[in-house]
Amino acid sequence: MNALTSAGDEGTRSFVAGVDEAGRGPLAGPVVAAAVILDPAVRIAGLDDSKLLSPRRRVDLDLEIRKLAVSHAVARVDVAVIDAINILQATMQAMREAVGQLDPAPRQVLVDGDRCPDLPCPVRAVVGGDATVAAISAASILAKVARDREMIEMDRRYPGYGFARHKGYGTRAHRDALLRFGPSPIHRLSFAPVKSALMRQIPGRGQP
C-alpha cells in the first residue's frame, strides 16, 4: 500500500474532508456514509482501507478517529429510499448528509471512488483513496463500523438470515435464506436477487 497522505498536509488544504461509504453492494440494510476532517498535525497510526482491517482493529480505530478528528459525521439512507431512487443516488445522498453535518465546514472534499456528490464546495474523486488518503481511510472505518453495528442489531430483529455474519452481502447462505423465507423488511427489493426471491416465495411461508 502507498503511504497514506494527510488531506491537510498543506496549509491551503486545511479543513479538507475525506468521504467514503459502506454498503453499496449488499442485498439488505442501509447505505452508510462518513465524512472526516483530520488534524494534519495529529497522526493516527494504522489507518487503512476498512475492508483490510480486522473487526477489532476497526473498532479501536473508530474510537481513536472520533476522539482525534477535527470533525466527523455519519449518515445513513435506508432501504425504502434506496429502492425509490437507486443505490447510486442513495449513496450520494448519504455522502451529502454526512458532509453537511461537519463543523467546521470543509473547504474541499475528497471522495473515495470515481463518483462525487454535488456539494457546495470543491469535491474530487480519488480512486483507491481509502488506502492512500488518511481522511478517506478514516471515513471508510467510521462508515463500516456504524453499518456493521446496525446489521448486527438487524440480525436480532430478523433472525435466520445471518445478517450478523455477512452484513447483508449476497453470500450463498444469505441467498439460500432469501429463498427459504422471502425478503425481510430491510431487504432491497430493487436488487435482482431479492426481487427474484420475492417472486419465488411460496404462499403461506412466513419469515423466520
CATH 3.30.420.10 fits 11-155, yes or no: yes
CB count in 10 Å sphere of residue 97: 17
Q: Domain residues of the chain, as ranges? A: 11-155, 158-198
Q: Give the separation between CA 88 and CA 207, rounded to whole angstroms.
A: 29
Block means of pLDDT (10 residues each) for the chain, length 208 residues? 52 78 98 97 93 96 98 98 98 98 97 97 97 97 98 97 98 96 96 91 51
pLDDT in tens, 49-88: 999 999 999 999 999 999 999 999 999 999 999 999 999 9
| 3-class SS shares of the chain: helix, strand, coil, % to 5 | 45, 15, 40
pTM of the predicted structure, to 2 decimals: 0.90
Phi/psi at 68 (5° precision): -105, -15
For residue 32, with 0-12 CB atoms within 10 Å meaning exposed, 13-18 middle and 19 or more buried, which class applies? buried
